[in-house]
Amino acid sequence: MTDALYDDGEQVSDNWDAVFKSLSAEPRRQLLASLSDAPPDRSVPLPESAAPSARPSDPEALRLQLYHTHLPMLAEMGFVTWDADPLVASRGPRFDEVSAVFDALHSAADDLPDSLVTGCQRLEAEQQDGATF
């Protein structure tokens, strides 16, 4: 019984590591947020759905980063599936794991230090006021 408990604990730890690794880069966070906002059975276009909202990025450089780094990583973890032509991503079989953590963090934004959310809150306010980027 102890061995089974340890094995489960190790798997749970690995699952948390995967979730936090997936959230550790802005293009992946943006992509996961875009997928959360999209209907569950829809794909999202790339690179625009992974573009950082706070600063402009080079679409071709982002496309290459997504293709060679971010999408393979997220797919290996089971959080997304993707196609290269056209470049799109959809929810993977384990998307709910990362989405639940992402949603919990977003819901707790008022309780987080300002240094982690001030820019996000400003952007949300500007978007509600109709500002364009």
Q: pLDDT per residue over 47-77, tens digit each?
A: 999 998 767 779 999 999 999 999 999 999 9
Helix or strand or coil: residue 93? coil
Residue 13 lies in a domain: no
pLDDT at 115: 78
Residue 3 lies in a domain: no
- Say if residues 96 and 87 touch (Cβ distance below 8 Å): no
Q: What's the rounded Cα separation, in Å, for the pair 48 and 27?
A: 10
pLDDT at position 118? 60
Whole-number pLDDT of residue 132: 38
Pair of tokens at residue 62: 């982002």
pTM of the model: 0.77
| The predicted structure's pLDDT at residue 57 | 76
Task: Give residue 96's domain range.
Answer: 21-128
| 115 assigned to some structural domain | yes
User: Is 48 domain-assigned?
Assistant: yes
120 within some domain: yes
CATH of the domain at 42: 1.10.10
Q: Which residues of the chain have pLDDT under 70?
A: 1-7, 54, 117-133
Evaluate whether residue 85 is within a structural domain. yes
Residue 47 maps to a domain = yes
Question: How many structural domains is the chain composed of?
Answer: 1
Residue spans of alpha helices (H) in the chain: 2-22, 26-37, 59-65, 71-76, 95-107, 114-128
Q: Is residue 105 one of the residues assigned to a domain? A: yes
